[in-house]
A and B are shown apart, each in its own frame.
Chain A
Amino acid sequence: MRKQLLKLTYLSLASAFIAAPALAAAPAEKHVAITQIVEHPALDAVRNGVKDVLKENGWNEGENLKWNYQSAQGNTATAAQIAKKFAGDQPDAIVAIATPSAQAVASSARASNIIFSAVTDPVSAKLVEGWDKPGKNITGVSDLTPIDKHLGMVKEVLPSAKKLGVIYNPGETNSVSLVKLINEFAPKHGLEVVEAASPKSADVQTATRSLMGRVDAIYLPTDNTVISAMEGVVKIAEQAKIPLFAGDTDSVKRGAIAALGFNYYEVGRQTGNMLVRVLNGTSPGDIHVEGIDKTELFVNPEAAKRMGIELSPEFIGKAKEIIK
C-alpha cells in the first residue's frame, strides 16, 4: 500500500515536471467581472462571445479565470450596487454591457480597467470623450449601425450612383442620428444625400414618390415608421426601377436588394479580443473605441432584377444568406 502511494507521489511529481512547460504556456490567472443591465437575448449573446474568446485564448473558468457575472435584472439601483461591488473586488478588468451598466461602472470603478460593449453612442453617454485613444481607464465596442459600410455596399453594387435617397421619420431620434451619420459619410463614397421625410406610415408612399427622378438609389435606415410600411416603398421602387437598399436584414426578405446586418455574438467576440489585449497589459485608454467590425450580407437577387439591375456573382458570393 505504502509502496503504491509512494509510486503515485513520484508519478504525480514527474507529471508535474512534464506539465510545467505546458503550464507556463497557459496564461496567468485573471479575474474578469462582467455585468449587464438585464437578461436579454442580444446582451446574453455579447456575454457568450466575450467568454468564448477568453476560452480560445487559454482562459478557462474555474481554472485560470475567475468569471464574476452579475445581472442588474433591469433595476438601476442594483446596477449601481453591482458597479460598487466590482470596484471593491478589484478585478483585472470589468466588462459592462449596455449603456446604463456602463455608466454605473464608469462612475464607481474609477481605478479599474473598464471595457463597455453594446453601447450605441459612447460619446454622448459621456463614457469617452472621443473614439480615438479615449485615455483614462475605459474603452469598448459600440453597436452603432455601421453606416460607412452600408454606403460602401451601395457603391459596390452601383459604382455609378451619385444621388442617394433616404426616407425616414424626423420624429424618431434614432433615425435622426442615423441620417446625420449618412450625411457625414456620403461624401467619402461620392454620394449626395436626398432626404425624404415620412412622419407617419401613411406618408411613406408620398415620400418615396417625391424621390422619383431625383435619385439613383434609395437607402432605408432602421426607421420604425418607414420599415413598418416598407412594402409601399418596394412597390414604387420596382415600378420606377430604382434599386432599394436597407439597413436591416429583415427588409431584404421583404423586397430590398441587400443589407449588411450584424449579430451580437460577434460584437461580444470583438469585445473579447479587446479584453484579451487589456488582460495582456495594454491600458484601455490606449485602445481605440471600435464600431461594428464583422457584418453579414443578405442579398435578394430577384428583387434586384425587378428593380432593373443584375447583381454580380462575386457580390452574391459574399452573402451569408441569399433570399429567393
Chain B
Amino acid sequence: MLNSFAFFGAIETGFIYGLVALGVFISFRILDFPDLTVDGSFPLGAAVSATMIVAGINPLIATFCACIAGAAAGLVTAWLNVRLKILHLLASILTMIALYSINLRVMDGPNKALLGVETLLSPLDNLSIPYYIAYPIAFGIVILLVVAALVWFLKTEVGLAMRATGSNERMAKANGINTGRMVLMGMALSNALVALAGALFAQSQGSADVTMGVGVIVIGLASVIGGEALLPKRTLLMWISACILGSLLYRLVVAVALNGEVLGLKAQDLNLITAILVTVAIVAPNWRSYFKGSRA
C-alpha cells in the first residue's frame, strides 16, 4: 500500500517529530506543565538554523544555536510562570504568540529557503544508499543518542529532583529542592529538543516557514499519549521509547491515509481518516477488554 518513498518518509518525519514528543514528554509528563510554547519554538528552531545557514554559518553551529534559541523560549515561559506567577497555560500561550512575530523578524519574512544550500544533511546525498533511506537512518541515530542521554539524565540527582518537582511540588520543596529552578531547567531542555526538531525538519524539508508551528503541540501530545497506550510504562526507557513509537505510528497512519482514494475517500477527508486510524491503532491491542466491560 505504501511506496518506499512514502514509507521511509513517514519514518523520517516520525523520528523528527519524535524529538517533539520527547520535548512534550518532559514538560507534560515529567514537569506536569502543559506547554504550548512548542508551537512557537519548533518554527523558531527552523528559522534560526535556516537564517544562519543561508548567511553562510556552519550548519552544525546553526543547529546548535537553534537549540539555544529554543531553550531561551522555554526559559521565558518558565520565568513568566515561576517568577511572575502567570498560570502555566497562559504563560506558554504568551510566549507562543510572541514567537510568531519573532520568527518573522528572524527570517525577515515568512519563509527562508534552504533548497540547494549546504546543510547538515547534504553529506547524506552522496552516499551509496539513496537519500530517502539515509535521512531516516541519520535521524534514527540522533533519536537513539537523545533517548540515551535523556534516560541517563533523568536518573541523575538533578533529573530525580526534576521528576520529584513534577509529581509533588510541595513534597519536593520540603525536601530542599529548588522547584522553580527545576521548572526553568526542564522547560529549557524541553523546548531545546523541540527547536532541534524544527531545525532538522527545515533542513530535510528545504525551507523554514512561519506557519510550520501550527498544531505541533497537538501532534506531540498525540504521540506521547498514543505511545503510552501502545507500550506499558514499566521502566523509564520504555516510557520514553513509547513517545518515539507514538510519533512513528502517527506518521505511518498519515502516510496510509494519503492513499484514501483507494477507498473512494477524498483529499479533504485526510485529517478525519488520520484520527480514526490512530484511534483504531490505540484501541486494537486491548479490544478484548472493551467487550468484557472490564474497567481496569
Is A127 in the interface zone, CB < 8 Å from B?
yes
Chain A residue nearest to B259 (CB atoms) is: A85
B228 contacts across to A, CB distance below 8 A? none
Contact indicator B258/A81 (Cβ below 8 Å): yes
Interface assignment of B211: CB less than 8 Å from any CB of chain A: yes
What's the Cα separation between A173 and B13 when bound, in Å? 32
CB contact between B3 and one of A71, A74, A85 (< 8 Å): that residue: A85
Complex alpha-carbon distance, A71 and B266, angstroms: 10
Number of B residues, CB within 8 Å of A: 43
Cα distance A76–B198 when bound, in Å? 11
B255 touching A85, Cβ below 8 Å: yes
Are A100 and B13 in touch, CB under 8 angstroms? Answer: no
Bound Cα distance from A312 to B10, whole angstroms: 60
Digitize A80-121: 1 where CB-to-B-CB distance is under 8 Å, 0 elsewhere: 111111011100000000011001101110100000000000
B111 touches A76 (CB 8 A): no
B267 within 8 Å of A by Cβ?
Answer: yes
Given A78-B254, A82-B258, A85-B258, are A71 and B268 neighbors across the interface (CB < 8 Å)? yes
In the complex, the answer to whether B6 meets A70 with C-beta atoms within 8 Å is no
When C-beta atoms are compared, the residue in chain A nearest to B274 turns out to be A78
B9 touches A81 (CB 8 A): yes
Q: Can you name 29 A-B residue pairings with CB atoms under 8 Å?
A: A69-B266, A71-B268, A71-B270, A73-B271, A74-B211, A74-B215, A76-B201, A77-B13, A77-B17, A77-B251, A80-B13, A80-B205, A81-B10, A81-B258, A84-B5, A85-B258, A88-B5, A89-B5, A99-B111, A100-B207, A100-B209, A100-B212, A103-B111, A104-B207, A106-B206, A125-B111, A125-B113, A126-B117, A127-B113
Pair B207/A125 contact, Cβ less than 8 Å: yes
Tell whether, in the assembled complex, residue B214 and residue A84 are in contact, meaning their CB atoms are under 8 Å apart: no
Given contacts A80-B13, A88-B3, A89-B3, A126 and B206 within 8 Å (CB-CB): yes
The answer to whether A124 and B113 have CB atoms under 8 Å apart is: yes
**Cα distance, A313 to B49, chains bound together (Å):** 57
Chain B residues near A78 (CB-CB < 8 A): 254, 270
B residues 186-222 touching A (CB-CB < 8 Å):
201, 204-207, 209, 211-212, 214-215, 219
The docked-state distance in angstroms from the alpha carbon of A71 to that of B265 is: 13
CA of A81 to CA of B254, assembled, Å: 8
Q: Is residue A210 contacting chain B, with contact meaning CB distance below 8 A?
A: no
Is B207 in contact with A69, judged by CB distance below 8 angstroms? no
Whether A126 and B3, one on each chain, are in contact in the complex, defined by CB atoms closer than 8 angstroms, is no
A-B contact count (CB 8 A): 119
Q: How far is the CB of A244 from chain B (nearest CB, A)?
A: 29
B264 at the interface (CB under 8 A from A): no
Q: How far is the CA of A80 from the CA of B12 in the complex (A)?
A: 10
**Contact, CB under 8 Å: B207 / A77:** no
List 19 other contacts, CB 8 Å, given A76-B201, A88-B9: A68-B261, A73-B268, A81-B258, A84-B5, A84-B9, A84-B132, A85-B259, A87-B132, A100-B111, A100-B211, A103-B113, A103-B115, A106-B115, A107-B206, A108-B132, A125-B111, A126-B114, A126-B206, A126-B207
Q: How far is the CB of A227 from chain B (nearest CB, A)?
A: 20
Contacts of B132 in A (CB 8 A): 84, 87, 108
Report the 10 A-B pairs with minimum CB-CB distance, sorted nearest first. Answer: A88-B5, A84-B9, A88-B3, A107-B206, A126-B113, A76-B212, A126-B115, A85-B6, A103-B207, A87-B5
B56 interface hit (Cβ, 8 Å): no
Interface assignment of B25: CB less than 8 Å from any CB of chain A:
no
Contacts of A219-265 to chain B: CB distance below 8 A: none
Give B266's nearest chain A residue, CB to CB: A69
* Residue from B6, B211, B268 in contact with A84 in the complex, judged by beta carbons closer than 8 Å: B6
Q: Are B214 and A81 in contact (CB under 8 A)?
A: no
The reply to whether the CB of A132 lies closer than 8 angstroms to some CB of chain B is no
**A73-B254 Cα distance, complex, nearest whole Å:** 12
